[in-house]
A = this chain, B = another copy of it.
């Protein structure tokens, strides 16, 4: 590489996106909000239109040695639905583009699509377009999801206010622990040299399912609407809680405190972390791929939130000068750093 060239890893994924998109001022009246949230917001009439897109590449985002194609199709669709729910919207349509190398057969692609179809059925979403082509290497899946939301009711990352409560749905870290288990069993299988090797997932079905077949939290969005709770900021947990908290703090111009002992963690996640000798809280903070909803609500909604099943209050929003920190069990403050998965670096950022 010559001296005038810059390696992409020096910028990281978010740095690269910032650099690439900063010189694109919005020109059309229908473009309300562009790059920088879970989805763009467009104005085309009675409702606002939401658009989000994801690119999944074999060897980077999935490994077909332990991800069945049907599960991959399901997950590829659901993670896009999750981005639309994270804007307080409803997913309506998807387009699916595939690049397929010659080692894939029609039956393989049928399996992938059966997963996409199942996700579309469950979430009430229509497949409306796409593009299919050969690929010289591996499988490429690009999905764009379009949704709608009542006019001006989209919830962004930028609306959190000091004293707001920080809430998260479900539990965290399970998808990441599921991945660790899948990778371990795959390694054991390879080393055993036994073609009929059966991985041992007994008692760990939940973390496997969280990795292979995540769900988007439509139920949480519906419950919040029913209870008349409108989050001030919201996003889904795809890169990890630490990374998402920092996004909300940066975009809202605030700080935050989250309590170590409030982070919701499933029993199976804890057992697996113990087995693998990994720090459980770090796993829950940085694991990613949970697709839970992280959101902030005004303090006045505290009683309503306490009554909700499957929602944990994990902390509160502060003034920006206090920064973002986790309050440990002993009362100490540990600064939150982005340790989310970064596809452009082989090592975790520090």
- Known contacts A95-B53, A142-B53; decide if A130 and B7 are in contact (CB<8 Å): no
Binds B, one of A13-21, A175-183, A296-304, A319-327: A13-21
A229-B95 Cα distance, complex, nearest whole Å? 31
CB of A5 within 8 A of CB of B105, answer yes
Chain B residue contacts of A202, Cβ below 8 A: none
> Which residue of chain B is the closest to A114 with respect to CB atoms?
B23
> Which residue of chain B is the closest to A32 with respect to CB atoms?
B128
List which A70-100 residues lie within 8 A (CB) of chain B: 92-93, 95, 97-100
Contact of A49 among B44, B57, B61, B107 (CB under 8 A): B44
Binds B, one of A35-43, A159-167, A254-262, A280-288: A35-43
Query: What's the interface size class on A, roughly?
Result: 35 or more
- Known contacts A7-B106, A136-B137; decide if A129 and B97 are in contact (CB<8 Å): no
Chain B residue contacts of A138, Cβ below 8 A: 136-137
CB of B132 within 8 A of CB of A31, answer no
CB of A129 within 8 A of CB of B51, answer yes
> Which residue of chain B is the closest to A151 with respect to CB atoms?
B45
Shortest beta-carbon distance from A8 to chain B in Å: 6
Q: Can you spell out 23 A-B residue pairs with CB atoms less than 8 angstroms apart?
A: A5-B105, A6-B105, A8-B102, A11-B106, A27-B125, A28-B125, A31-B126, A33-B128, A35-B127, A42-B92, A42-B93, A42-B146, A49-B49, A49-B146, A51-B128, A51-B144, A53-B129, A54-B131, A55-B97, A99-B140, A136-B137, A137-B137, A140-B142
The residues of A with any CB-CB pair to B shorter than 8 Å are 1, 4-11, 13, 16-17, 19-21, 23-24, 26-28, 30-31, 33-35, 39-40, 42, 44-47, 49, 51-55, 57-61, 92-93, 95, 97-100, 102, 104-110, 113, 117, 120, 124-138, 140, 142, 144, 146, 148, 343-344
A109-B5 Cα distance, complex, nearest whole Å? 11
Chain B residue contacts of A344, Cβ below 8 A: 133-134
CB of B130 within 8 A of CB of A19, answer no
Shortest beta-carbon distance from A196 to chain B in Å: 17
